[in-house]
Amino acid sequence: MTEMELTDEEKQLILQRRAQKRKEEEDRQFQQNALKVASMWLDWSARDGSGLTFSTFVNDFGYEEQDGKEMFSAVERILAASKRQPR
């Protein structure tokens, strides 16, 4: 294998691309988790009858992860986006 010396600019490009790929993967994982949590919330809410508020989401539904505010916001957006439009 031939070794090449990379310039500082080339090294920076490689590091930026790696960071971008890491962020894309983290975003994908968050999106998948948000869809699962939104589905779980819908099932729980149908049984419990509670509406979606942050305190209900955390205290009653029991979402206790570090990303609670971000996840709550994502669930709100998913539920809003998935409502049927009037015909």
Mean pLDDT by 10-residue block, N- to C-terminus, for the chain (87 residues)? Answer: 90 97 98 98 97 97 97 98 89
The predicted pLDDT at position 41 comes to 98
How far apart are the C-alpha atoms of 4 and 14, rounded to whole Å?
Answer: 14
CB 26 within 8 A of CB 19: no
Structure tokens at 69: 């505010």
The predicted pLDDT at position 23 comes to 98
How far apart are the C-alpha atoms of 55 and 60, rounded to whole Å?
Answer: 8
The predicted pLDDT at position 85 comes to 85
